[in-house]
Structure 1
């Protein structure tokens, strides 16, 4: 597939009077390719390819069910589907698990602040004994 600039170059050379053979020599494209793109009235649009089926496709529902049940690692899931007949590699399983695993965020903490001298905090793990001052 030609880029828009290359298509414009072919059309420009043809409008200047160059033959298809000469355009082919200058651009490096075959004469049939030059003819094909000279017939087009609009610039070529890139076309998307249909998605290629993955080796993991038959096992995706199983992996998703297992991830809903509990925290499974990608390596464990890989071993399980390998026993079921999967012939792909670990990386494809790890990438898929990373995509579908529920995201675990850090829980938000509401900060509680007071004015100086109103509240005290103590780390009880460091204290062996509590002594109160008597007045």
Structure 2
């Protein structure tokens, strides 16, 4: 089955609203993860730290430039994700509708291409596959 990433996106306002109800939302999120696990579609889920604690590496100059995060003029922030193994984009949408959230937040849904969709004869992917195998990742 294809995998879909449900990307949690919010603003400073929705993040503040989430933090005001953090215990309730965390409990609801644990239940959501349990539901996806019982349904056999759960792959992974992670939240991210405060965007102000991150940095950004810019590749627009000769040498990469590192600045404090998250970004310059951003209105939405990536707050975490759920990775689900579901049959279709529509099924991913149905799960996304159930993600605990606050008004104003969004879930972006992106399909994760399978290994069989990547050109395996490409030298870069051959080297990556060998590296993953040697490190015990596959």
TM-score by length of 2: 0.20
Answer 1 or 2: which has greater strand percent.
2
Return the structure number with greater relative CO, CA threshold 8 A, min gap 6.
2
- Normalised by the length of structure 1, the TM-score is 0.20
Q: Which has the larger radius of gyration?
A: 1
